[in-house]
Structure 1
């Protein structure tokens, strides 16, 4: 281990008792309390204000978000094929975490949690409402490839690349070699120098990134409570009310807070591995006992349409697509992923010690998207199959964006019926738990500035997000939706934190390679 890394670790351990940067804590907790208080005071005012900001951001900055994701992906691929990509993260000769455990943790973070909500419903939605990039007649066999391709665009290469490639390279070099803190502000150090590392501005940068993740994580936590509550009602006749949702939130909170407190090498790792095994079992059951040939053909056609229409879908604007469609689909998802970018990059850099830059980039930006595409084909493709055959009709539910109804309806139509529906509800719950534990850990890392944050701080953030979801659900699911829309607004400042990585990441990779004698 190099001298700089050793000194960094020593600083980390001496700082371990700190509860975090007070500016980050005050602004982040202030946001949670302010959002809840304003919602109590005037729920309509909050919802309308966020809706207006959401619409303006999507229309004005949608193209900028799209170009940022495109540039991030292609520059990351450039680094991955360069000689610099042989450099290892954290100055370790061998990986700190085994390959399967490492890949499990990568998969069981943001896109896994969100993907489980949308995997069944989104492809069917694009099947019954033809996306703007395609001209096939909705609900016909010709619409299958375009429906899957549009889903692949939202959850594929571009989405994953912004979460753990360029920013992770910059943070890995800055932290493990230069001894700088594992905080979003570190991404701006190559541009702004020392003034961003000390003082209130750096705290503001970190707080904005934390707020974006809180907004993006409380949403899935809240929606999970409504989805599981609806599922229990449909399957077992349990009341679908707030008390059931509260019990789901309590159980979920206990699981992911315990996981976050026990850390990377215990709870987070164990939960992720279990979830991957469960997902593989469900995927195998669907593929073998379900419409195997249809799913194989659908994946092949969907992947072909995704590649052939890649740039058309990625660069579509409100000039060529309806405003509402861009706001609620492409721009919404891309902004959501940007909002998660810095903290996900911290998490990926932390779990990738001993891996080469090439391994990290290819795992995040290629392997994970392919796995996501297969999962969307198995669940969403099965939904399309049953919709096309007339076994189910999700048109009305999806036009009302009732994705909980879509998920359960498709699940009950799969081989195993109610048993499969219960398995998918369990999978959804644990996927959200893995998002909750990794983000509780990452937020705590931001506050502490090192990779061993105080266990009480990890527990605090996990509990805070569950409580916020409970309060907002009490006001109605509409406030959870408003919070989800808010992440599009927070993507504006967060995107400016990620923007410099387009040129600082290649430089960091070259410096790591030189320091390790590769170049």
Structure 2
């Protein structure tokens, strides 16, 4: 039973990971503030080199993660629990599903829910269909599903599964470096482990920064649509400052329950908006489009997963496929910690099934409802949403709402959704950054939390000043490149850890049931933010 020994309390005092990662982050912020053109050129050069030389690795690794998870779920290891053998889940299955979906369901769905499908309609990926045709509509949805479906959640599932196993089965601290102990041994406590955690911090920081920048652009677009407020950098900077103050205050004051309630309310608002669009939009068309697009997506999943820019379509890959995969990699540490904390007591098979399938269904349905409505309107000649998206990506969602009844109400609801998703997501990211730079403690100091809140906001402003959306995309891909190697190593280390379980693997386990209050101690509460209350 040595695997379940309690880990000694970790120190709250920041260590070298904080100072190294903070120095790197601040260097980029200063660079963007002092010489934004130089940062833009350097980012573009690095992006081109990485995507030309290593773009295939993003595709191969993400597909490999899916194969690994599928084999794992179907094997005898699928019976093992994420925790002790007698641990049981803290949440009922429906609640757990809802929490999984809320982990990442935020700004991206508003920013890209219409913009990506409508962009692919006008310029079908890899020339696979003629523009503005029914075939282009299906292809547009297929590639949108590819960017937001199984591949994204496969990346999250690998890190989340390894983190839950490491923390609850092996009793290790909540650090990315701890996941590599089966490969590196005690070296994870030295310079090698510190380097891994630095890469995790930088990737997480710029994943959050990208979301913050996209959110500012989206909110600005909504304010322009509703109130005629200029779509400009000063307005976007002001939005970032306000949002940064909100999520930093949340992290410092420990208003986790308030944020949770707001997040739950926003999920309700998002669900209501989804149902509204289904009812007032082209319902039958959306149903047909969804069925055909899902069929194409699933039947061509492997082939789509291995399309490379060998034909010269590098620009598309950089703007969409590589950027999306890099974005998910940059979120892997944050989402992994979140998924681990809510999944203690689940079996490996339950975890893989829930994390891969449930959010994929939700996300594909969302993209079909909003993106499909925009496609239907444009193909019918009723609107020019594609033209609006080409001019400003952030205008696409609001242009779609403008083609439906109750535009003012739905637009205000959308802006509120973006703000709340923003604050709650960035709050949790700040907590994870604090944890990763404080020896894995679940109670980072307020000073560290405030510091990372300020750095996140400053980095978003610097990158917007250096080139807007293009600069954000460049930094995500560049910062995620080293982390891709780390996530692959995490999968290998996790497989090795599983194989060390011994002959008891595959023994029958009783069905999962939610734990009773008596079975849960305060230290076991799965909310990421519980320790700050």
TM-score (norm. length: structure 2): 0.88
- Which residue does the alignment assign to 1:113? 107
Q: How does 1:350-361 map to 2 (within 5 A)?
A: 350-361=341-352
3-state SS of the aligned residue for 2:83? Answer: helix
Contact 1:262 1:268 in 2 (8 A): no
Aligned match of 1:39 in 10, 14, 32? 32
1:444 to 2:444 alignment: no
Contact 1:213 1:339 in 2 (8 A): yes
Contact 2:33 2:462 in 1 (8 A): no
1:371-422 Cα distance to aligned partner (Å, 9 max, x none): 111111111111111111122213444345x211112111222332121122
1:316 to 2:307 alignment: yes
**Alpha-carbon distance in structure 2 between the residues aligned to 1:451 and 1:366:** 32
- Which residue does the alignment assign to 2:6? 7
Aligned match of 1:172 in 164, 171, 175? 164
**Alpha-carbon distance in structure 2 between the residues aligned to 1:199 and 1:37:** 29
1:141-186 Cα distance to aligned partner (Å, 9 max, x none): 22211110010011110111111x2222322222223332211112
Moved more, 309-318 or 409-418: 409-418
- Which residue does the alignment assign to 2:487? 498
Q: How does 1:58-77 map to 2 (within 5 A)?
A: 58-77=51-70
Structural RMSD (CA): 2.6
1:363 to 2:361 alignment: no
1:269 to 2:267 alignment: no
**1:241/1:186 CA distance change after superposition, 3 Å:** same
**1:113/1:69 CA distance change after superposition, 3 Å:** same
**1:395/1:238 CA distance change after superposition, 3 Å:** closer
1:485 to 2:474 alignment: yes
1:73-106 Cα distance to aligned partner (Å, 9 max, x none): 1111121222322322233633234545433332
**1:108/1:250 CA distance change after superposition, 3 Å:** farther
3-state SS of the aligned residue for 1:448? Answer: coil
- Which residue does the alignment assign to 2:96? 102
Aligned match of 1:49 in 31, 42, 46? 42
Moved more, 501-510 or 414-423: 501-510
Deviation at 1:189, TM superposition (A): 1.7
1:343-380 Cα distance to aligned partner (Å, 9 max, x none): 32222112212222222212221111111111111111
- Which residue does the alignment assign to 2:410? 420
1:93 to 2:87 alignment: yes
Aligned match of 1:252 in 232, 243, 258? 243
- Which residue does the alignment assign to 1:190? 182
Contact 1:58 1:332 in 2 (8 A): no
1:450-486 Cα distance to aligned partner (Å, 9 max, x none): 462225133432333123324544x36x156324312
3-state SS of the aligned residue for 1:518? Answer: coil
Moved more, 90-99 or 283-292: 90-99
3-state SS of the aligned residue for 1:329? Answer: helix
**1:513/1:280 CA distance change after superposition, 3 Å:** farther
3-state SS of the aligned residue for 2:131? Answer: coil
**1:213/1:480 CA distance change after superposition, 3 Å:** farther
**Alpha-carbon distance in structure 2 between the residues aligned to 1:312 and 1:228:** 37
Contact 1:167 1:498 in 2 (8 A): yes
3-state SS of the aligned residue for 1:35? Answer: helix
Aligned match of 1:123 in 100, 112, 117? 117
1:210-261 Cα distance to aligned partner (Å, 9 max, x none): 1111112112212212221231122123344555434433442344334445
**1:139/1:507 CA distance change after superposition, 3 Å:** same
**Alpha-carbon distance in structure 2 between the residues aligned to 1:516 and 1:257:** 44
**Alpha-carbon distance in structure 2 between the residues aligned to 1:244 and 1:490:** 27
3-state SS of the aligned residue for 1:499? Answer: helix
- Which residue does the alignment assign to 2:527? none
- Which residue does the alignment assign to 1:229? 220
3-state SS of the aligned residue for 1:90? Answer: coil
1:440-459 Cα distance to aligned partner (Å, 9 max, x none): 22222212344622251334
Aligned match of 2:384 in 366, 381, 393? 393
**Alpha-carbon distance in structure 2 between the residues aligned to 1:131 and 1:171:** 35
**Alpha-carbon distance in structure 2 between the residues aligned to 1:132 and 1:148:** 14
Moved more, 375-384 or 321-330: 321-330
**1:340/1:133 CA distance change after superposition, 3 Å:** farther
Contact 1:411 1:424 in 2 (8 A): no
**Alpha-carbon distance in structure 1 between the residues aligned to 2:371 and 2:502:** 42
Give structure 2 stretches of 5+ with no counterpart.
Answer: 509-533
**Alpha-carbon distance in structure 2 between the residues aligned to 1:231 and 1:501:** 40
Give structure 1 stretches of 5+ with no counterpart.
Answer: none
- How many positions carry a matched residue from both structures? 506
**1:515/1:248 CA distance change after superposition, 3 Å:** farther
- Which residue does the alignment assign to 1:429? 419
- Which residue does the alignment assign to 1:406? 396
**1:231/1:35 CA distance change after superposition, 3 Å:** same
Contact 2:260 2:424 in 1 (8 A): no
1:83 to 2:82 alignment: no
